[in-house]
Structure 1
């Protein structure tokens, strides 16, 4: 079976590179003689996780558009490098030896768990991206039928959804870094305050 073509409107995507928080696309529509080449950005940062295309530019000049494509990829590389330079904690990733195995017969709710590095994008396979607090979701329960695990990243505080199989295991206490202990205290305090406020508003 032929692979389904990826389309952006009438343009077929011929090159795509995902770096950092977006994907850069180069697309072609040979039927548009005045503007057959197009470059745009794509993200999925929305509740439904659907493709969102923006910053589109087009031209009849292939080299001009390929230069635009390359420039955007380079800009994303520089943005990721700058982001990494600001990280103030050790980056070495956590491995299976740092975790208690992901036992599906046990709950992981309210525990610090480690995301598998292979489930992270190559540029984000670092410790600050791996350590999360599991705060809910059917997948966090013991012997769960569901897969979803809702988490809070200990370094950034960002809330995310993972599947139970994305989790390497529960972090062993002896491997919990100092920065993670401090952030965990802050996150738990914030959640407690949030819960208290919700109860009072009922």
Structure 2
């Protein structure tokens, strides 16, 4: 009991350092209720639930979830309160959360994704649009689109029914209320500050590292990524994987050389989301039109016309990138 009380004090001190006012009911109620007496324990649990109804959010602290905690999580879910999961490692390392109130915007979206289908995608709500009728913060930025005619690009109906990633609140929006589909790295950064649990979000961001977030922020390459993943057809219906230097001349050389030799190609981001694909040596589509028009085509077209020669293809040698590629054993069911 004494050990649990000390841990609860540590948790409260951590939460307070993040800028919130923490309440751990059992550290208060046990001052005058005996947890060993069933009637008084039941009274304490009931009082804890009533207290939770007056709180703004629930923080689930530590790596072990007791039955009492499960009951509180169920109540918070019913009340549509934010539920934040803070591990013991986060407390030990003093990983600060709830520090960012910047609403996400168009820069946090996949380029041109406002023209994509939205169903089962994480969307960025436009700044200035709020479900609470208040000044919008980052809390209200991310929504998971469930259904509605507005999920289909070009449909006459514009209704999008979406669920708040933070609270689970389910609301009818209009398609024009959203900027587009969130970039995985922006979603990961949001989750680091607001550690909610969502399987789809965790799957989408499982390969996003703090280094990748930092590199994307610095935008130290024309396309904004430290490297790109190239896929080219190989023997036996398989596809060979290349970890490419994102320099436009290097990408153009890869497209011309491998397009002539292998056929249709696909180039993806470090998160293995589509970046561009080709019909042989010619671009079929590209997710970043600004990069395509300003950086890639000026060097690619002369190579396609035979006016310049493609250079030797540069592959990155970063061991982290190599380990990343090991997770993508590509077989013949890959669509190019």
Q: Bigger radius of gyration, 1 or 2? A: 2
Report if TM-score (shorter chain) is over 0.5. Answer: no
Give the alignment's TM-score, normalised by structure 1. 0.45
Compare the two structures and name the one with the higher helix fraction.
2
Structure possessing the higher relative contact order (Cα contacts under 8 Å, 6 or more residues apart):
1
Give the alignment's TM-score, normalised by structure 2. 0.28
